[in-house]
Structure 1
Amino acid sequence: MAWPWRRRSRRRMARIAIEGAIGASTRRRVLKALREVEKREFPALLLRIDSPGGTVGDSQEIHAALLRLRETGCRVVASFGNISASGGVYVGVAAETIVSNPGTITGSIGVILRGNNLSKLLERVGIRFETVKSGAYKDILSPDRALSAEERDLLQSLIDSSYEQFVQAVAVGRQLDADVVRQFADGRVFSGAQAKELGLVDALGDEETARRKAAELAGLEADSQPVTLGKPRKQLMGLLPGSGLLRQLGQLLESEVLLAHQPLWLFRP
């Protein structure tokens, strides 16, 4: 027996928004929403991305889940907002069609890993770390000393592997040769118009353009409106004046401190 809400879902499209840095909380929210899209048998998904990217593993899990959703027959169209860079691009190329604003900041294909060498500062204030470790590289990127040449080579190998995964995902998702992708996958950013010339996006337009494309691909009515799933929980702080600025500062703190020492697919100007 088909439940009524399932029949309604087949006549509408779903919408999921990815906003801000991609991390564990975004991954959990989006994956839960994607499972609901599949369960309710929505014929199309409008994926709105307004993100500078984020952690590698979280971006990869969302990307993989989108590919699995497409295997069920759901048509996935991505809409790039103000910015869809680095990990935002990685997630976006899992869609079958990408629509970008002409002025969207996109690209930044690559990997970054940053640590903090505070040895001079620590020496000045008289702080010294005492370290006991099981292996030569166990305290790699420790803030109390500079990297050795061997450690730098080791981390570069890690970055190169992650970079190649990124290039291959873009090449497959956008049906481009990997060597062609490498020519512009050097961390540079593009406008949406430039990205279209490179083959990173299919069409220029706003979210409404993407919605209409999703409706067309799924055979829905042209005015079919999406059902938004996976909305972030509203915080009490969001009701306070200046909450938007506080949220941005929190995201900056997360990217600079909490995500330090991790390979990131993140646009960091």
Structure 2
Amino acid sequence: MFSRRHPYLFFILLMTAMVTGSSMLMRLGTAMTKSEVQGESIGVVELYGPIMDSSQILEDIRKFRDNEKIRAIVLRVDSPGGGVGPSQEIYRALQMARKEKPVIASFGSVAASGGYYVAAATDGIMANAGTVTGSIGVILGYTNFRELAERIGLQSVVIKSGEHKDMASPVKDLSSEDRDILQALVDRMHRQFVRDVATGRDMEENTVATLADGRIYAGEEAMELGLVDRLGNFEDALSWAAEKAGIDPDKWVAVYPERERSWLWDIIDGGAQSLVNAMDRKMGFTGGYLWTPGMQQGL
């Protein structure tokens, strides 16, 4: 095996691949297949990690929405949530997409808070029995180290244009008025969350509100409560999307958004085998073998 013959080179290549990021290495676009050309494709949009920036997700959704060869979209979610604004932007984009074609959400290990928020905009949600989901709520928090700053002799100097411009500063106490303002902000965002879940899921707002105290649910319980539609894995979600799109269950293909190759990937992809062959010749190995980083192109 390559790893045994060249352990140091294997380690360097492995670490390089990890630095570039698994999403870059594993999702470099899918080659056009006969099935895709015939319009039997399902676009897969991946939402992994904290939701801090929506730009790439929005672009992926838009491309699949506007591509007539993409018959349905599956949103794969493995996220604990994130920013309110980006989550709302993705929610809106999915609402628009489902007007054009079926959109199904597939939950991985966790789809909570903002991760659940965005999925509520789809035509249906599929989770694993043990998926951690729910956490419908809004939180705002910070650490106050005023006393610590005073003990070590640090003094905060603030010049502000308004009374509340420095509310929630970590070096001043939170006044009761500031607390009321921040609580009102959180309450408003929470009402937006409940409203959007109720709209997307076609549920009564009062029903959603009773579930929206911030607690998390296992996927199985979430289905019993109406927050999830079916239990199953990613492939089950793809099959469900195919069913909704009227695609032959034996002919669909999953397509991922194209990504620009990084120069680091080109070095690995184009140069690794040449380097391995050269080392083998120098060390006296004969007989060929191929080592390339894996690339998933669809299911």
TM-score band by shorter chain is: 0.7 to 0.9
Task: Assess, with a 3 A threshold, how the Cα gap between structure 1 residues 228 and 7 changes in structure 2: closer, same or farther.
Answer: closer
**CA distance 1:145–1:232, shift in 2 (3 Å):** farther
Partner of 2:111: 84
**Secondary structure, counterpart of 1:102 in structure 2:** coil
Give, in angstroms, the shift of residue 236 of structure 1: 5.8
Alpha carbons 1:50, 1:82 under 8 Å: kept: yes
Return the offset for 1:7: 7.4
- Select the residue among 147, 151, 155 that pairs with 1:128: 155
Aligned partner of 2:51 in structure 1 is 22
| CA distance, structure 2, for counterparts of residue 186 and residue 36 of structure 1 | 36
- 1:227 partnered with 2:248: no
Distance of 1:230 and 1:197 partners within structure 2: 37
Task: For residues 114-134 of structure 1, give each alpha carbon's deviation from its aligned partner in whole angstroms, at most 9, with x where no partner exists.
Answer: 122110110111101111111
> How many residue pairs end up in the alignment?
232
Equivalent AA in structure 2 for residue 13 of structure 1? I
Distance 1:179 1:234, change over 3 A: farther
| 1:64 correspondence with 2:92 | yes
Q: 2:77 is matched with which residue: 21, 41, 49?
A: 49
Deviations 1:193-227, CA, capped at 9 Å, x for gaps: 01001100100010111111000000112131210
CA distance in 2, matches of 1:235, 1:120: 49
Higher-Rg structure is 2
CA distance in 1, matches of 2:221, 2:261: 35
Shift of 1:38: 2.1
| TM-score scaled by length of structure 1 | 0.82
Specify the SS of the correspondent of 1:60: helix
> Which letter maps to 1:90?
Y
**Residues 95-110 of structure 1 mapped to structure 2, 5 A cutoff:** 95-110=122-137
**Whole-angstrom distance in 1 between the partners of 2:62 and 2:39:** 15
TM alignment of 1:135-174, pairs within 5 A: 135-174=162-201
Secondary structure, aligned partner of 1:117: coil
Q: Aligned equivalents of 2:260 and 2:205: distance in 1?
A: 36
How do 1:161-240 residues align onto structure 2 when only pairs under 5 Å count? 161-223=188-250, 224-229=252-257
Is 1:111–1:163's contact at 8 Å kept on the other side of the alignment? yes
1:70 deviates by 1.3
SS at structure 2 position matched to 1:226: strand
Higher relative contact order structure (alpha carbons within 8 Å, sequence separation ≥ 6): 1
Matches of 2:259 and 2:77 in 1, distance apart?
13
The percent of aligned pairs where both chains have the same amino acid is 43
Contact 1:29/1:232 (8 A) holds in 2: no
Shift of 1:9: 6.6
Paired residue secondary structure (1:14): strand
CA displacement, residues 160-217 of structure 1 (integer Å, 9 cap, x when unaligned): 0000000011111111111111111000000000100110010001011111100000
Shift of 1:142: 0.7
- Whole-Å separation in 2 of the counterparts to 1:77 and 1:179: 25
Kindly report the root-mean-square deviation, in angstroms, between the aligned alpha carbons of the 2 structures. Answer: 2.3
Change (3 A) 1:108 1:69: same
> Which runs of no fewer than 5 residues in structure 1 stay unpaired?
238-269
SS of residue paired to 1:152 = helix
The 1-side partners of 2:183 and 2:204 are apart by 24
Report if the CA contact (8 A) 1:16-1:230 is conserved: no
- SS of equivalent residue, structure 1 residue 53: coil
> Deviations for 1:15-53, whole angstroms, at most 9, x for unmatched residues?
0110000011xx111111112112312220011000001
2:111/2:134 contact within 8 Å kept: yes
CA distance in 2, matches of 1:193, 1:10: 34
Whether the aligned pair in 2 keeps the contact of 1:85 and 1:189 (CA below 8 Å) is yes
Shift in alpha-carbon separation, 1:157–1:100, aligned structure 2, 3 A: same
Unaligned runs of 5+ in 2: 1-32, 266-299
Aligned pair in 2 of structure 1 residues 230, 97: CA closer, same or farther (>3 Å)? farther
- Give the deviation of 1:136 after TM superposition: 0.5
Distance 1:150 1:235 in 2: 53
